[in-house]
Amino acid sequence: MTYSSLAEVVFEIRFEPKDNFSTSLLMEINKIFPDSKDIIQKEGLQFPNEVKNKHKKLYFTPSYQIVYTDFILFIADGCIIIIIDTKKTNYPGWKEFKNKPIKLFELLNKLQELNIQRYSLRYTNFIQNNIDNSKSIDINIFLGKQQLNCKNSLHLKSQIPDDNDIILIDIISNATATVKTDENQESKTEGTVFTIDAIHNSSNKNKNDFIQSLDDLHKKISNQYNNIYTEGENT
């Protein structure tokens, strides 16, 4: 990943859901991440426990959105999500960003009854069409012996098992996005949306193991990114 093309960074940690847990978790998170700008109630609060018990995916629907100066945090009965939107704030780099997931891991570990199920890291890049032509996405797709023209509209999804992790790649060409110009103005432009999502299924509660696996996820995402696209210095 590179700073210039990076659009969004997302970390998610999932744990065994508990009814109405998001509200008590909100108070604990306010202790480790104070100075929030706003707290917004979300649709997860609207679902009765009986409905969530029948439709388990609803446990991962956010109940609260906490807005900070440099990131946004979502809380559900079964997960916590951290998002950095680079249109609103600069990405600080991996070494600084990973401290936020580590703080969440430490908090969840203090709650002994919780069982962490998995965590994931996702980087989304928007690569503009009008950048240096020497830097391009390297994709070759064949139907039989015929090579497809990947410069036309393309939506490609791929799932790659990697040891105990799963790497998901999603590429959408000819997309339109709003970007900031050098003059700090917003402008619509066309390009390719390039998302890499690395998922680690684990219930370990060892902090050092968590940090190591988190670094491994980031490294695997960087390797996949550099295999397909090269643009300057990596994060």
Report domain extents, the chain: 6-16+78-228
Contacts of 71 (CB under 8 A, 6+ apart): 82, 83, 84, 89, 100
Short-list 190, 174, 189, 173, CA closest to 139: 173
Query: At residue 135, what is the residue type?
Result: K
pLDDT of amino acid 95:
95
Q: What pLDDT band is residue 218 in, cutting at 50, 70 and 90?
A: very high
Q: Are 139 and 148 in contact (CB under 8 A)?
A: no
Put simply, whether the predicted model's pTM sits higher than 0.75 gets the answer yes
- Of 54 and 179, more confident: 54
Residue 36 DSSP SS3: coil
| H/E element, 65 | strand 64-67
- Here the tokens at position 142 are 């064949």
Where in 104-185 does DSSP place strands (E)?
116-128, 142-143, 146-147, 155-162, 165-180
Q: Are 127 and 229 in contact (CB under 8 A)?
A: yes
DSSP state of 2: -
Indicate the pLDDT class of residue 3, thresholds 50, 70 and 90.
Answer: very low
Which amino acid belongs to residue 225? Answer: Y
Identity of residue 198: A
Find the mean pLDDT for residues 203-231. 87
Predicted local confidence at residue 46, as pLDDT: 94
Looking at per-residue pLDDT, the higher value among 204 and 168 belongs to 168
Three-state SS for 38?
A: strand
Give the HSE-up count for residue 32: Cα atoms under 13 Å, Cβ half-sphere.
Answer: 16
**Residue pLDDT, tens place only, 151-184:** 666 788 889 988 889 999 998 877 777 766 666 6
Question: What pLDDT is attached to residue 184?
Answer: 66
What b-and-e string marks burial along 174-208, b requiring 16 or more CB atoms within 10 Å of the CB? Answer: ebeeebeeeeeeeeeeebbbbbbbbbbebeeeeee
Tell me how far apart the alpha carbons of residues 104 and 142 are, in angstroms, rounded to a whole number.
44
Any idea what DSSP says for residue 148? P
pLDDT of residue 143: 61
Are 77 and 90 spatial neighbours (Cβ–Cβ below 8 Å)? no
CA distance 141 to 145: 10
pLDDT, tens digit (0-9, with 9 covering 90-100), for 67-108: 999 999 999 999 999 999 988 899 999 999 999 999 999 999
Which is more confidently placed, 192 or 145?
192
